[in-house]
Structure formats: structure tokens, C-alpha cells
Amino acid sequence: MAKPKVAFYWCASCGGCEEAVVDLNEDILKVVEVVDIALWPVALDFKKKHVEAWKPGEVTVAFINGAVRTSEQEEWVKLLRSKCPMVIAFGSCAHLGGIPGLSNGTTRERTLAAKYFESPTVDNPTRLLPQRLTQVNGYALELPEFSASVRCLNQVIEVDYYLPGCPPTPEWIMEACRMIITGHLPAKGSVIGLEKSLCDECPRKESKPEVLKISAFRRVADSTPDPEKCFLAEGYICMGPATRSGCGERCIRGNMPCRGCFGPPTESLDIGTKFLSAIGSLLDADTEEKSAELAATLVDPLGTFYRFSLPSSILKNRLG
């Protein structure tokens, strides 16, 4: 039997998801033993015309990482969707919007200004911005459109499965490959991970007190957390209570609180407000003034509560 063909593609992402595939180490050999890689822009030279020439179904699975911000990314994911019977959103950005999705906390104009006018390493006295069309020596040069906001993959095309994480862990990537090869697939639309919250799996859960009160917020930038204790009990924002487990608790073991890259468990509608609700209820405040005082010391609630998930949240983006 011919080996099934798979495609890897990247959109608005940092490259970490590509790294995660490389991090499979020797296991990557096991993968290429059973599948052929038909497209992988980061490592192999295929062009769009090659993909356009694929017969529908010829390439079984597209693993797509990154959020969708440009018209080029939109074209590519639609092309891959039209060719591949299965599309897997690979990593937090494709799954929920990810770090690039934080740009939905401001406007397109502000994003461009920050990048092209205000960045300390940019010298742009004539305030040039990228243009869709530029004439150079009689040639028309074209750039993709930079859209109004960031979308996660299922806001652009239909997605069959999701591999969560920033980036997905080798264990779950191998598990996804195993599912595809053996045909033991979960229900369409499933997130490949565990259904419990991270706190259930956390090595520090014993130190999470029954009654938890937060009297001050602390940040890892200013102080070093106790390497044994529940972060939340110490006032460090830890997204564990609202986040899907299965990540292997690598951040926790590295003395970093959870930031929520695995996203919410399936039943949760909106990770940010869920978590806000949990944190808010824990504040050590018995008056409106005290509650407001404490709330004001939490730096960037939107960026903290929706660090990986803003485009997929209920509100999705800031109003212009």
C-alpha cells in the first residue's frame, strides 16, 4: 500500500510549531516511515503550483499551524482544505488564535503603527507602510492584504481536529499520527488532549489550599515563586484551573505558572471570563473599594486571561 501523504503548512506563527516537529527527534523517522511529506515550506521546496496540481484526496492530511492574518494565509488554507480530506489545526495559534491573536486587543492601525513607526529598532522618517501594490522599474509588486484582525483556523475553514499547545508536545503529535494511521479517530472537531483541568494533574496540587485567598498579585518578572507551592496560593496568576491538561506540566516543572496554551476544556465557552470569574472570587476583599483596588493591580487582564485565545473568545477583538 502506498504511504499516505501529509502536508505541513504555517501561517501567522513563530516557527515554534515547526520546531516541535523537529523535536520529535528519532521519532520523525518513524513518522516518515509511514507517511510521505508532500508539503513543508520550512524544510522542503514546494510551490503553490505543486499543491494546486494535487488531485483531491491525494494528500490525506494537512497539519496547519499559525493564525490567519493575511490574504495569502487565507488563500493557502482554503487551497489545502479543498485538497485534503483531513485538516488538523496544529498548535495554539491555529487552534485558538495564539500569541499573534493578542493583536486583536488593539486595532489594525495601532498594530501597524507600533511595528512600522514606533518600534525602537525601526527608522522610518517618511512613515512608509507596506502597500498592496508597488511599481518598481515598471514591475508591479504585490503584497498580501493585512486583515482587520486575527482569526483562528476554524474561523476561516472547517477544521477536523485540534492539536493544542504552544507548541504541541511530541507525545500528542505522535498520538495524532497513530490515530491517523490506525484510523482510530475521535469524533470530528475533537481536541486531541485530556478533558481534565491542569490543576487535576499538577504536581503542586497538594499545596493548593482548600480555601484560597489572593491578597496581592505577584508576577514572575518581579519575584521568584516558591518551587514547591501552588502558584495561585502565592498570588501568581496560574491559568491551571481553567486550562485543559495533557501538556505534561512542563511550565509548572520549570517554575513557571500556567499561561493557558492548551486552551479551555471542551465544555468551557470562554476561557478568559471563566478564569476571571475564578480569580475574582478568590480576591481577599470584603468591600467594593478593596475589590477595585486589588483589581487595578492586575496588569493587563485581557492579555493575561486570553493570552492564547483572544480571537476564539466570545468577544474576539477590541472595538476599533
Partner 1 sequence: MSDAKFEPKIVGFLCQWCSYTGADLAGTSRLQYPPTLRTIRVMCSGRVDPTFVVKAFAEGADGVLIAGCHPGDCHYNEGNYRAMRRYPLLLELLDQFGIERERVRLEWVSASEGEKFAGVVNDMTARIKALGPLNWKERSALYSGVA
- The contact set with partner 1 (CB under 8 A) reads 104-105, 108, 147-149, 151, 155-158, 269-270, 272-274, 276-277, 279-283, 285-288, 291-292, 294-296, 298, 300-302, 305, 311, 313-320
Return the residue of 11, 20, 38, 198 that touches ligand SF4, per CB under 6 A: 198
Q: Please report, as a single letter, which amino acid is at residue 37.
A: I
CA-closest candidate to residue 190, choices 97, 274, 263 = 263
C-alpha span between 129 and 152 (Å, rounded):
25
Q: Which of 306, 285, 312, 307 is nearest to 296 (CA)?
A: 285
Spatial separation of the C-alpha atoms in residues 20 and 44, rounded to whole Å = 16
Closest contact distance (angstroms) between CB of 20 and ligand SF4 is 22
Q: Are 62 and 54 in contact (CB under 8 A)?
A: no
Residues 248-287 that bind ligand SF4 (CB under 6 A): 252, 257-258
Q: CB–CB of 95/164 below 8 Å?
A: yes
Q: If binding is defined by CB under 6 A, does position 235 make contact with ligand SF4?
A: no
Distance CA 195, CA 119 (A): 41
- Least separation in angstroms between residue 272's CB and partner 1 is 7
Interacting partner of 313 out of partner 1, ligand SF4, none (Cβ under 5 to 8 A depending on kind): partner 1
Q: What is the total residue count of the chain?
A: 320
Which residue, 169 or 197, is less far from partner 1 as judged by CB? Answer: 197
Indicate whether 225 belongs to the interface with ligand SF4 (CB under 6 A). Answer: no
Nearer to ligand SF4, 14 or 212 (CB): 212
- Scanning the structure block, which residue is given the C-alpha cell 523535536? 23
Residue ranges in contact with ligand SF4 by CB under 6 A: 198-199, 202, 204-205, 208, 230-232, 238, 240-241, 252, 257-258
